[in-house]
Structure 1
Amino acid sequence: MRNNREEQREGLKMRLIDAAEARIAAGGLNGLKARDVTADAGCALGALYTAFEDLDRLILHVNSRTLARLGAALQAAVVPGQGPKAVMAALAQGYVGFALANFRLWAALFTHRLPEGIEAPDWHRAEHAVLIAQIITPLGKLRPELAGDALRQRALTVFAAVHGVVMLALTARFVATPRDQVSGEVAALVTALTRGLAE
């Protein structure tokens, strides 16, 4: 059983994660300050460092939540019984929809960097598997000759293609697809990819 001190520490962690998540959702990672987060959480600045090593570690926990929500959104996008091409198309649209609806939290997954020389913990690295885990099964049906590392690498490539279009569009780069066309362009990309994969 947890003692009262452990429960208080866990409650503090949850308040800090909630506060940081709200700040990132509202304004992105730029300008996120420990002092603002702790004020929102109703605790002293020093309390953050009793719950987390630093602000970067707190951001990892926010990103962990976002990854879990993204995984759930991708799972919900797929209708049971669909063929592999339809599943790939549904996953891509689920990804676009999540990024559009949660842009700043989604972007934080890919723009947050730990200080040089500091590696992300294993538990957080493992959570990123959600980005390709659901691609592997339909992709394996489209390319049955691929297995193991080769299948995983191809799934990473397919993810990177879709992610690149979405990231460029939502960050309004000069070569980007217009934001209001990104869903249709991603659909066309996945159709082209799956047509080629099936040949």
Structure 2
Amino acid sequence: MGRRSDHSREELVALILDEGQQLMAEVGFARFSAREVAKRIGYSVGTIMNLFGSVDGLVLAINSRSFLLWAEMLIRALQDGGGDRIHALVRGYFAFAKQHRNLWSAIYEHRLPEGMLLPADLAEQRARLTDIVISEVASALPTLDSDSAASLGRSLIATVHGHCAFALNGSFDLLGEADPMALATARVDEVLESHRKAQRRR
């Protein structure tokens, strides 16, 4: 039997997201099931569909929540990372992917159906991670204009992501690379130093 009268709408959304994120962390995107989430919380799958519109809507919300968890981890990395904040961000990126591998993978495995847009509130949640990186890039390169800092920050995220993905899927092992995070950090340092030199020449 369902427990439809047990929770308010807000409480039910939180309950579904809590259990949904836990299930995603356990089994990953390929084995994720809204029906299993419903079973775990004691509601019908129809209740979940009424609240999130579709399985894609539920996964979007879970993945956006994972972005918030990731952003919190980056903030802690910055707080605990000592003097080099850029290096702390790289370590924080790798740490989240390693510690929450299924959540991290689900972010990139899920594809929006054609015509489905990311809701503004979820886009804002996801932007927090990028905003942290862009802010640190702007601090490292104070003479860079805001648009250029944002573009460079997104590019550096892609650089670190590629190294991290190769590390987790075993590609770097096949290439004989023992320290992918050090490689990623070195590439980021090179890009930032190149920009510093270009600014000094102006």
Deviations along 1:53-99, whole A, 9 cap, x unmatched?
Answer: 1111111221122111111111111148965xx11111110111111
1: CA distance, partners of 2:45 / 2:81? 51
Identity of aligned residues (%): 27
Deviations 1:23-46 (A, max 9, x none): 211111103222212111211222
| Corresponding residue of 2:200 | none
In structure 2, stretches of 5+ residues that fail to align are: 198-202
**8 Å contact 1:24–1:104 — kept in the other structure?**
yes
1:71-110 counterparts in 2 under 5 A? Answer: 71-79=71-79, 86-110=84-108
TM-score (norm 1): 0.84
Matched AA of 2:145: A
C-alpha distance in structure 2 between counterparts of 1:12 and 1:87, whole Å: 38
Alpha-carbon distance in structure 1 between the residues aligned to 2:18 and 2:80: 33
| Partner SS state of residue 129, structure 1 | helix
Runs of 4+ in 1 over 4 A off after TM superposition: 4-7, 80-83, 173-180
* 1:126 to partner: Cα distance: 2.0
Query: How many residues matched?
Result: 194
- How many angstroms apart in 2 are the aligned matches of 1:67 and 1:162? 16
RMSD: 2.7
Change (3 A) 1:177 1:18: farther
Contact 1:169 1:177 in 2 (8 A): no
Distance in structure 1 (CA, Å) of the matches to 2:117 and 2:43: 28
| 2:34 corresponding residue in structure 1 | 34
Does residue 148 in structure 1 map to residue 146 in structure 2? Answer: yes
The answer as to whether partners of 2:71 and 2:128 remain within 8 angstroms in 1 is: yes
**Normalised TM-score (structure 2):** 0.83
Matched, 1:60 2:90: no
Deviation at 1:191, TM superposition (A): 3.0
The residue number in structure 1 matching 2:122 is 124
Number of the residue aligned with 1:188: 186
Letter in 2 for 1:77: A
- Amino acid in structure 1 at the alignment position of 2:13: K
* Distance in 2 separating the partners of 1:35 and 1:11: 19
The AA in structure 1 aligned to 2:180 is V
Asked if the contact 1:63–1:109 (Cα under 8 Å) also holds between the matched residues in 2, the reply is: yes
What is the one-letter code of the residue matched to 1:39?
A: K
1:51 alignment counterpart: 51
CA distance in structure 1 between the partners assigned to 2:97 and 2:81 by the alignment: 25
Amino acid at match of 1:19: E
What is the deviation of 1:172? 3.1
Q: Shift of the alpha carbon at 1:175?
A: 8.7
Equivalent position of 2:159 in the other structure: 161
Aligned residues of 2:81 and 2:88 also touching (Cα < 8 A): no
1:80/1:147 CA distance change after superposition, 3 Å: farther
Aligned to 1:12: 12
